[in-house]
Amino acid sequence: IFPIPKIALLPLFIIWFGIGEESKVATIFFGVFFPTVIAVYGGIDNVDRSLIRMGQSFGLHWTSIVRKIILPGALPAMLSGFRITASISIILLVAAEMIAAEFGVGAYILMAGNLMATDQLIAGVAILSVLGLTVGWLIGRAERFLLRWRS
C-alpha cells in the first residue's frame, strides 16, 4: 500500500466520500498515515533498551516508563517524521485541489495556468512556499521547545 501514489486514490475517495472536503481529508490522511506510523515506530524502536530495563528495575510504572524514557527517546524521530508528513500533506492538498476543487490554492494555480496568467500562478506558488516555510518553522520551534533537554 505504501508505494502507491496517494493522489492516484483521489478518484476512489471521491466516489466513496463525494467531491467535498471529505475526499481531500481522506487522501491526505491516507498519504501521511504510513510515514507517521513508520517514524513513530522507528523512534520507539531506537530507544535504548537498557534505559527501559533500568526504569523497570527502579520500579517505575509502565506509564512512567513511557512518559519519562520512551517518549523523550522517540521524540526526535517522531518530530522528524512529522516534518516530512507536513510537506507530504501540503503536496497532497494542492494536488487534490487541482483535481477536485473550485476553491483553494491548488485550484487557483491550475486556473492561473489555464489562463496563462503567470503573475497569478507565481503568486499561488509564493503562497505555497510561505505556507511550507511557516509549517517547517513551526515544527522547528516545536522541536527546539520539546527537545530543549538535549542541549
pLDDT one-digit tens code per residue, 92-149: 999 988 887 788 899 999 999 999 999 999 999 999 999 999 999 999 999 999 988 8
- Residues 6 and 58: their CA atoms lie apart, in Å, by 46
Whether 79 is covered by a domain: the verdict is yes
Residue ranges in 5-70 assigned as alpha helix (H):
10-17, 21-45, 49-57, 62-65
For residues 7, 125, 130 and 127, what is the CA-based torsion angle, rounded to 10 degrees? -100
Whether 104 is covered by a domain: the verdict is yes
Whether 1 is covered by a domain: the verdict is no
Q: How many domains does the chain have?
A: 1
Residue 23, classified by CB atoms within 10 Å of its CB into exposed (0-12), middle (13-18) or buried (19+), is buried
Identify the domain containing residue 20 by its residue range: 6-150
CATH (domain of 87): 1.10.3720.10
Average pLDDT, the chain: 91
Q: Put residue 104 in one of left, alpha, beta given phi > 0 → left and psi -120 to 50 → alpha.
A: left
